[in-house]
Structure 1
Amino acid sequence: MSAAEVAKKAINKEALFILDVRNEDAFQDWKIESENFTYLNIPYFDLLDGVEGILNQLPQDKDILVVCAKEGSSIMVAEMLSDEGKDVFYLAGGMRAWSEHLEPVKLGELKDGGELYQFVRIGKGCLSYMVVSNGEAAIIDSTRMTDTYLQFADEIGVKITHVFDTHLHADHISGGRMIAEKTGAAYWLPPKDATEVTFAYEALEDGNDVTIGNTTIHIHALYSPGHTIGSTSFIVDNRYLLSGDILFIDSIGRPDLAGMAEDWVADLRESLYTRYRNLSDQLIVLPAHFMIMDELNEDGSIAKPLHELYANNHGLNIEYEEEFRKLVTENLPPQPNAYQEIRQTNMGKMTPDEDKQREMEIGPNRCAVR
């Protein structure tokens, strides 16, 4: 069963039984999640002598998917279960493939015929975007799986002319610079996040308007520091707010991934409680990450109106500044795996090979305050 097929089941809330044969610590740290998925975690090494001991723990009325890190162990366990008369699947490519799968979702039509797409990296919680208009496209917060965007652009017949990162990412390796190199597109970065980068870029600053195609679709940059000192949001078509890692559907961004939590708390509060408050509360918030599967809409997208977030997101409803400071400096999940190496890679200071990049990104998204 491919990662794409599992993603469809997750989005459609179908039932699936997952036998995860990774070690318990790996399973507890990060697993395939969905509302109607159920799990059994038995390490592969405990099954080397046979699977007879777990047969009574497997369901009769659900698809069974065997999962491991890369694929090999799950094939062997699935074969043993098949020999016992079970109809089972294994996850092609393992958790590595799950981490790298991107699911494109059309968010809506833009004025004058444009379109906006969200790419959901369902296994990692990353969200990226493609704005399309009149044969041109812009990509925002791309992952390192650049072929997905290039192939999608070819399929819908558009040329990528601009690539943006809302900030210098610390949880995943950006594909922005590579897409720009492959397509000749302009690559935009907030200069306050780019003081140490080793490559040329276009300075993304507050008030920048970038037109895509020959229409009136504009990407308007809004300086919104806090997650990083350069974090920049985008207003697209006066309808969508691409919030980067400042604001999520169910939480807010953490300010500590560059070691500046205490210094950036005030910036984070200013961005969320003043800059965003001055925007239309009818804007649809499109974050760069999501935390839990409950945030997915029925169509698989992650999007909510800003007024709903101000009503329901706890991080936007903390009256006292000291309480807010405590929340975002003390109530933090573990930092992303290899986040310093990821930052160095996104600055151009490191050029790890593909296997190393995969290793650096393994694990869940951890960009939010809990």
Structure 2
Amino acid sequence: MTVKSISPKEVADQVINREPVYVLDVRDNESSEDWQIEGSHVQLINIPFEQLKGSDPSQFTELPKDKPLYTVCAKGNTSQKAAELLADNGFGNVYSIEGGMAAWSEQLEPVKIGEVSGGAIYQFVRLGKGCLSYLIESDGKAAVVDANRMTEVYEQFAKEQGIVIEQVLDTHLHADHISGGKKLAEASDAVYHLPPQDAEEVIFDFEPITDGTKLSIGKATIEAVYSPGHTIGSTTFIVDGKYLLTGDILFVESIGRPDLAGKAGDWADDLYVTLYERYKELAGELLVLPAHYADPSEMNEDGSVSEKLNVLYEKNEGLQIKDENQFIKRVTEDLKEQPNAYEEIRQTNMGRLKPEPEKAKEMETGPNNCAV
């Protein structure tokens, strides 16, 4: 029986809107446990396809028969077979997620965060990777921060809003995903900014952005605050004196890791100074907008990820370690596994590697793991 498919965007809309979503992941147990579709109202069932095929599907009582059920695999082929098998066995509301986890990883959902002078700031939520990027628009002009490689999403959004992207910024040299910053800047005839301390091996042209640099986007302003620790060049952006774009230095429920360039011992001290001294001097009412989230519990009701800086100093575990030696031990020992292909991704973001689209997609598979 031929079954229907559903696009990653349709599933993402439901996840963002906190609608009940039932997902049957037919990959092997290890792959599903390592990286899966997540959300506050997502119910995930993992039954490898070979197990499903060799059994009577009706024995899997956890599979709903009266609700939409979405099957997913790595690239969308096996999930189609699984959906057909279920449909042949009495499941009448089964859909295969188009493109599988590879396509899910690329889906971006824009959420309006709030107002800036003459415009607004939007957060683009990449549900499959936990990546967060931003578009600030004012008086018909825009800046994009920490763009993902799917740059057409930002271009289409700008076209629909009738705005022109003039500035593109990266908070640091990313190691968990391929930056779309340079590509987006070239496509939009915009200026690309990168912290110079992270760019010693970069082979393309960019505009250095350093501590105290101020940019204007229409009536809105972006001010750079040097904040090393995740990388030696990590730079925070304060937008209109209201929003704190922290990159991978500070998240809602965790803090950045200092080891993705093999320099944890050197950068852990910088991370401590940034979090316990530099950020302490900033206004507590600033709304922290990080470049990643690790768990759906960090999401607000509207699907965005944010929190006031003063709240994080009360609740974020990584900001409660007063002893510097204890802090350094915490951020350099017993860390999560490093992101998939992180060194290849760093080389790509330097311009030294130019992977084909399928290779780039493969390099980004798996969770981001940028947090301690």
TM-score by length of 1: 0.96
* Structure 2 residue aligned with 1:227: 230
Per-residue CA deviation, residues 140-191 of structure 1 (Å, 9 max, x unaligned), is 0000000000000000011111100000000000000001111110000000
* Structure 2 residue aligned with 1:123: 128
What is the CA distance between 1:51 and its match in structure 2?
A: 4.6
Matched ranges for 1:307-346 at <5 A? 307-346=310-349
* Structure 2 residue aligned with 1:276: 279
* Structure 1 residue aligned with 2:29: 24
SS in 1 for 2:61: helix
Does 1:106 find its partner at 2:112? yes
* Structure 1 residue aligned with 2:102: 96
* Structure 1 residue aligned with 2:209: 204
Does 1:262 find its partner at 2:265? yes
SS in 2 for 1:276: helix
Tell me which amino acid in the other structure corresponds to 2:86. Answer: L
Matched ranges for 1:65-80 at <5 A? 65-80=70-85
Hey, what's the Cα distance between the residues in 1 that align with 2:21 and 2:139?
41
Q: Greater CA deviation, 27-36 or 167-176?
A: 27-36
Hey, what's the Cα distance between the residues in 1 that align with 2:16 and 2:149?
23
What is the CA distance between 1:2 and its match in structure 2?
A: 1.8
- Equivalent residues, number: 366
Tell me which amino acid in the other structure corresponds to 2:217. Answer: I
* Structure 1 residue aligned with 2:364: 361
Does 1:43 find its partner at 2:48? yes
SS in 2 for 1:277: helix
Tell me which amino acid in the other structure corresponds to 2:77. Answer: G
* 8 Å Cα contact 2:288/2:308 also seen in 1: yes
Hey, what's the Cα distance between the residues in 2 that align with 1:263 and 1:315?
18
Hey, what's the Cα distance between the residues in 2 that align with 1:227 and 1:51?
50
What is the CA distance between 1:56 and its match in structure 2?
A: 3.4
TM-score by length of 2: 0.96
Q: Percent identity among equivalent residues? A: 55
Structure 2: state its 5+ residue gaps. Answer: 1-5
SS in 2 for 1:97: helix
Hey, what's the Cα distance between the residues in 1 that align with 2:148 and 2:59?
38
Per-residue CA deviation, residues 91-130 of structure 1 (Å, 9 max, x unaligned), is 111111110000000111112x211011000110000000
Q: Greater CA deviation, 294-303 or 47-56?
A: 47-56
Q: Runs of 4+ in structure 1 displaced over 4 angstroms?
A: none
Structure 1: state its 5+ residue gaps. Answer: none
2:145 corresponds to which of 130, 140, 149:
140
* 8 Å Cα contact 1:50/1:80 also seen in 2: no
Does 1:288 find its partner at 2:294? no
Tell me which amino acid in the other structure corresponds to 2:302. Answer: D
